[in-house]
Structure 1
Amino acid sequence: MKTKLQLATLGGGCFWCIEAIYGQIKGVKKVVSGYSGGRAPGRPTYREVRSGLTGDAEVVQVTFDPDIITYKDIMTVFMTSHDPTTLNQQGADKGTQYRSVIFYHNDAQKKTANELIKDMVHTFRKPIVTEILPSPIFHKAEDYHQEYYKNNPSQMYCKVVITPKLLKLRKMHPNKIKQQ
């Protein structure tokens, strides 16, 4: 019997960072950058989301094989790959569009996310502010945002922000990295 793939929808600041991270994780089949959680009608654009007026967060939708990586492991990588203690900010990126958020797809994911945050409370010096909300409509971001790091590794943002996050990922979770 073939395992049914699952989804995780996560916002941890700039979606380029989170997409690059999950693209390296064993069991992850696909990562799509997009927008979720907004209240404006229609399909938001990057320009609209970047303004902060739509209420959307930059997120990634991760398709994964639970026989290879568990949802809890997906969440552990997420919580250690960004700062879940800064409200509406990751590094220099500020605004609700860069908030830390987990959009769960079922009650089991909600329970796992809440338990993991409870277990990680003492890992951080400040309180965790990550929101845990039901998964709303996901809007795929424009094509030029997809696989941004892979397609633009020499771009300054990639070098200064994303590459250090990937080095940290390899150090913290070496057993979860895909073989090159």
Structure 2
Amino acid sequence: MKKILSTLVIALLFSCQNNAQVNAKQQAVIDAEPIEVPLKNGKAKAYFASGCFWCVEAVFESVKGVDESISGYAGGHTKNPTYESNSYGRIKDHAEAVEIIYDPNVVSFETLVDVYFASQNPTQLNGQGPDKGYQYRSIIFYQNNTQKKIIEEKKAALAKKIKATIAAEVYPFQKFWVGEDYHQNYERLHPNQSYITNVSAPRLNRFKIEMPEVLKGNSH
């Protein structure tokens, strides 16, 4: 019995140490100075996490001024994350995220933040809809103090409006890791896949009702 107890204590000690290391690494991401992505050919980039990236990608690609939405990973500390390594949410690491390439002369960062909040359940912690876990948490990434102020003011206004705590975290942008090829444009390429018909498409349609004024003319 003593031998078993000793083994359990040692295992627990190592487990605590490992969790502490992971938490420290993640805290360093949260406390880091933001990295600003320069304009390229007049286009800007913004980064959001809000549940499954298939859903979020489709929402933002329906918005006027958005050229492209790319699925990937952000908000964690592991280099070169993959879907397999990140999908179980066993450690506090990256979230499924999207990189939005947009024309700031057509759509502002402020509007993109409005799109973000209008296209989700803002009070759901660590997930959206049926997708639950740390890898599905909601995060808005800021690249400078101006963006941070916009995010925090809109988050506070929404909390006051609905009289509830808003789950979205606010992180300094560090790096976006592009996801695997088979995740890109998933909703458009697989319209009859069961997850798309039951989760992604209904979420997109709810957003269209919420903000019809920002939609592209050919939005599907």
- Taking structure 1 as the reference length, the TM-score comes to 0.94
**1:73 equivalent in structure 2:** 111
Match of 1:37 among 59, 64, 75: 75
Shift of 1:125: 4.9
Number of equivalent positions: 178
2:53 pairs, out of 5, 15, 34, with 15
Equivalent position amino acid for 1:46 in 2: Y
Q: How far off its partner does 1:93 sit?
A: 1.1
In 1, Cα distance between the equivalents of 2:149 and 2:44? 16
Matching residue's letter, 2:86: V
Contact 2:187 2:200 in 1 (8 A): yes
> Which amino acid counterpart does residue 166 of structure 1 have in structure 2?
L
Match of 1:142 in 2: 180
Give the distance between the partners of 2:120 and 2:162, measured in 1 at CA. 12
Say whether 1:46 aligns with 2:83: yes
Q: Which moved more, 1:85-94 or 1:11-20?
A: 85-94
Within 2, Cα distance between the matches of 1:125 and 1:162? Answer: 27
Partner amino acid, structure 2, of 1:177: L
Q: Please tell me the residue identity of whatever aligns with 2:94.
A: D
> Residue deviations 1:110-155, cap 9 Å, x none?
1111111111113435310211110021100000000000010000
SS in 1 for 2:160: helix
* Match of residue 10 from structure 2: none
Q: What does 1:1-180 align with in structure 2 at a 5 Å threshold?
A: 4-40=42-78, 42-52=79-89, 53=91, 55-180=93-218
Report the residue type matching 1:20 in the other structure: A
In the alignment, structure 1 segments of 5+ residues that lack a partner are none
Larger gyration radius, structure 1 or structure 2: 2
Q: SS at the partner of 2:54?
A: helix
Which consecutive unaligned segments of at least 5 residues does structure 2 have?
A: 1-39
Asked if structure 2 preserves the Cα contact closer than 8 Å seen for 1:48 and 1:54, the reply is: no
Which structure has the highest helix share of the two? Answer: 2
Q: Distance in 2 between matches of 1:8 and 1:83?
A: 20
Whether the 8 Å contact between 2:159 and 2:165 is mirrored in structure 1 is yes
Measured on the aligned residues, the alpha-carbon RMSD in Å equals 1.5
Distance apart, 1:84 and its partner CA = 2.0
Q: Which residue identity does 1:31 align to in structure 2?
A: S
**Contact 1:117 1:128 (8 Å CA) reproduced:** yes
Asked if 1 retains the 8 angstrom alpha-carbon contact of 2:51 and 2:96, the reply is yes
C-alpha distance in 1 between matches for 2:105 and 2:47: 18
Q: CA deviation at 1:83?
A: 1.5
